[in-house]
Structure 1
Amino acid sequence: MSNADGPRRGPGSAPTIYDVAKLAGVNPSTVSRALNSPGRINAKTEARVRAAAEELRYRLNPMARALPTGKTGTLGLILSDITNPMIAGIVRGAQQAAAEHGYTLVLAESQEDSELESTAADRILRSVDGVVLAASRLDDAQIQQFADERPLVLINRDSDGVDSVIGDVEPGIDEAVAHLHLLGHDRIVYLSGPTQSWMSRHRAEVIQAVGARRGVAIDVVGPNRPTLDIGPEALPRLVAAGATAVMAYNDVMAIGLIRAAGHQGMVIPDDLSIVGFDDVFGADFTSPPLTTVQMPLLNLGDLAVRRLLAKIDGDTAAPKIEPPVSRLIIRGSSGRARV
């Protein structure tokens, strides 16, 4: 038996490198070079190998590929809550960037739980070339520990010494506060997110700074779960406080408020103006459609993966990435303050 013949495969089993070599008329080592390191062999031979691999539907084993190269061709993306619609934009952007560079994206979710996130990161880091943490709930020490093990990039989370891609929230928040102020709201409630959310704290700081600059009082109510069911819990507090306008940490919470208000017979925006954050899919399906601060979520995922790939490749001269900029989308859930 020649080297190209290799072991025979049984019925229904996946094709092997030996099958590809036999069909292409080359040695298995040539197949390996053609598929793992494009450009290292004659172009016609490489094309013949790839055609044979395609005909047989041969797929590279990432674990086997990692042995000679040290790379698996996979990236990890750990998400705080996969049920949150804003995650969809981040995932799509990350997936497109990964696929463009020939990488497979592996997802994991923490369910807003730092312990689950730590467990997921510990597990996934062993089998990927690098990882993106989206809206991480880990503390700085945990993030640094994982960053010391593998290339790591954060989305919407700041941690000293760790690369991150953070959307610029100030332009959109400034537009939102100015919009509400123009409508006669001289006091705005910020309905904050969970305690472990760096982005919730960051948005609160920016809203308070913008409010002070524009002469608008800002009250922070929270922390809160960043979910739909917070509406019935939060609405009575807002009504008791005499609020006429509220900015929610995310669109999901804002939509929860709109639903709860409807159940209580309130009219939005006549009784309460509500502004969300992110402009997720479905934000304009509510009644009334949700006014929201739009974040370019697709760009966040795309930029995070591109920065991660630069780290994996050791590209220290990669250009500085400008943060995606937020903007206000005015719809029907914001209106004049009641007199």
Structure 2
Amino acid sequence: MAATIRDVAQASGVHVSTVSRTFSAPHLVNAETRTRVLAVAENLGYRPNRAARALTTGRTHNLGLIVADISNPFFPPLIKAAQAHARARDYHVFVADTDEDPQVEEELIQTLTKQVDGVLLCSPRLSNRAIERLRADVPFVVVNRRVKGMPTILMDVGQGARLAIEHLTRLGHRRIALLSGPGGSWTSGEMREAAAAMDGVDLVILGPNAPTEQGGLAVAAEVIASGATGVLAYNDLVAIGLIEGLYERGVRVPGDISVVGVDDIVSGRLNRPKLTTVAMPTAAAGRMAVDLLLQSVDDGATPTLITLETGLVVRESTGEARS
């Protein structure tokens, strides 16, 4: 016969309610006790009945994770880390992709509301007003977007932009192009604000641009016409597309123009020239977002703001400004 919750409680030397909390609210159980109960449950082959537990607790033990574009290599490390972290807390994660469309994003949130205990919104395209309206139905944690009064995980892209521009100016670049992303992007706004505050920089803002390699290819002619010798791109995909577009026009990187991306995706390390970029702590953001969301589910939403540091990784796509 299949092991029951009472079998686990007896073998662990704890009350049945402690076993129940170990699976339904593990953060409320002493770490040593939780480890012992989970080990006994594993040995006995015990698996909690999710449907019965949902009826008892009112919890589905499912979380939603909505991203702007699942094909963008920025998101998979975040998704993978969030799923693993949630699984360790006995939660499942439903992943959905909006394809950069705010209307699709709203429809997905409304669809998930009755199927999950909370939703992680990663780089949302909805307006802040829409997000504030929708959170009345389900707890949210927002990643890479500042929404007043809402639990938020930010990756400090402003700090990253400053590090990138300081790197370019040390190499002698004075006219620098900033390639912004989609219209209304919070990340673009942070990059623009940080870059505009830098002294000794002749800043050229080009965009909005699609956050893809095609977006980078499409803006290459404008970059050349701008006279910029250094470029900070919205993300690595835009930077990689831009480098290809520059080469097609006989412009060398970094010989003629230096290029910096943002994200530190794998393809940026493999392309030639290897991409100088701002590394974003995506896996850490995924784990912390899950913790913050479960805290919101258990205790109610609190306006917690966690900002994670970014760092510059210097590779081959930047060099001294041409004389």
TM-score, with length taken from structure 1? 0.82
TM-fit CA distance, 1:208: 1.3
Q: Give yes or no for contact 1:34–1:50 (8 Å, CA) kept in 2.
A: no
Aligned pairs for 1:88-167 within 5 A: 88-167=76-155
What is the rounded CA distance, in whole Å, between the counterparts of 1:201 and 1:120 in structure 2? 25
3-state SS of the aligned residue for 2:173? coil
Number of the residue aligned with 1:296: 281
- Alignment deviations for residues 34-67 of structure 1 (CA, whole Å, 9 cap, x no partner): 874448xxx9xx889946972xxx7555344211
Number of the residue aligned with 2:209: 224
- Alignment deviations for residues 49-100 of structure 1 (CA, whole Å, 9 cap, x no partner): 946972xxx7555344211101111111100000111102211221232123
TM-fit CA distance, 1:337: 1.5
TM-fit CA distance, 1:200: 1.5
What is the rounded CA distance, in whole Å, between the counterparts of 1:172 and 1:157 in structure 2? 16
Number of the residue aligned with 1:325: 309
- Alignment deviations for residues 192-249 of structure 1 (CA, whole Å, 9 cap, x no partner): 0001322222221112123xxx211211111110011123210011111112111000
Aligned pairs for 1:146-295 within 5 A: 146-210=134-198, 214-295=199-280
Query: Runs of 5+ in structure 1 lacking a partner?
Result: 1-17, 27-31
In structure 2, the CA distance between the partners of 1:92 and 1:51, relative to structure 1 (3 Å rule), is closer
- Alignment deviations for residues 246-302 of structure 1 (CA, whole Å, 9 cap, x no partner): 100001100111122223332110111110011112211111000111111111111
In structure 2, the CA distance between the partners of 1:272 and 1:69, relative to structure 1 (3 Å rule), is same
What is the rounded CA distance, in whole Å, between the counterparts of 1:249 and 1:75 in structure 2? 29
Q: Give yes or no for contact 1:270–1:335 (8 Å, CA) kept in 2.
A: yes
- Alignment deviations for residues 157-179 of structure 1 (CA, whole Å, 9 cap, x no partner): 01122111111223322221111
3-state SS of the aligned residue for 1:332? coil
Query: Runs of 5+ in structure 2 lacking a partner?
Result: 10-15, 23-28
Q: Give yes or no for contact 2:154–2:306 (8 Å, CA) kept in 1.
A: no
How much is the aligned-residue C-alpha RMSD, in angstroms? 3.1
In structure 2, the CA distance between the partners of 1:325 and 1:143, relative to structure 1 (3 Å rule), is same
Number of the residue aligned with 1:75: 63
In structure 2, the CA distance between the partners of 1:185 and 1:300, relative to structure 1 (3 Å rule), is same
In structure 2, the CA distance between the partners of 1:73 and 1:184, relative to structure 1 (3 Å rule), is same
How many residues matched? 310
TM-score, with length taken from structure 2? 0.86
Number of the residue aligned with 1:29: none
In structure 2, the CA distance between the partners of 1:208 and 1:35, relative to structure 1 (3 Å rule), is same
Number of the residue aligned with 1:12: none
What is the rounded CA distance, in whole Å, between the counterparts of 1:154 and 1:48 in structure 2? 34
- Alignment deviations for residues 91-141 of structure 1 (CA, whole Å, 9 cap, x no partner): 122123212322111101100000111111111121111111000001112
Q: Which structure is larger by alpha-carbon Rg, 1 or 2?
A: 1
Amino acid at match of 1:273: S
Q: Give yes or no for contact 2:41–2:47 (8 Å, CA) kept in 1.
A: no
In structure 2, the CA distance between the partners of 1:244 and 1:140, relative to structure 1 (3 Å rule), is same
3-state SS of the aligned residue for 1:111? coil
TM-fit CA distance, 1:187: 1.3
In structure 2, the CA distance between the partners of 1:188 and 1:311, relative to structure 1 (3 Å rule), is same
What is the rounded CA distance, in whole Å, between the counterparts of 1:262 and 1:25 in structure 2? 65
Number of the residue aligned with 2:298: 313
In structure 2, the CA distance between the partners of 1:260 and 1:317, relative to structure 1 (3 Å rule), is closer
3-state SS of the aligned residue for 2:268? coil
Q: Give yes or no for contact 2:155–2:308 (8 Å, CA) kept in 1.
A: yes
Amino acid at match of 1:338: R
Amino acid at match of 2:143: I
In structure 2, the CA distance between the partners of 1:62 and 1:119, relative to structure 1 (3 Å rule), is farther
Q: Give yes or no for contact 1:34–1:49 (8 Å, CA) kept in 2.
A: no
What is the rounded CA distance, in whole Å, between the counterparts of 2:226 and 2:38 in structure 1? 70
In structure 2, the CA distance between the partners of 1:52 and 1:169, relative to structure 1 (3 Å rule), is closer
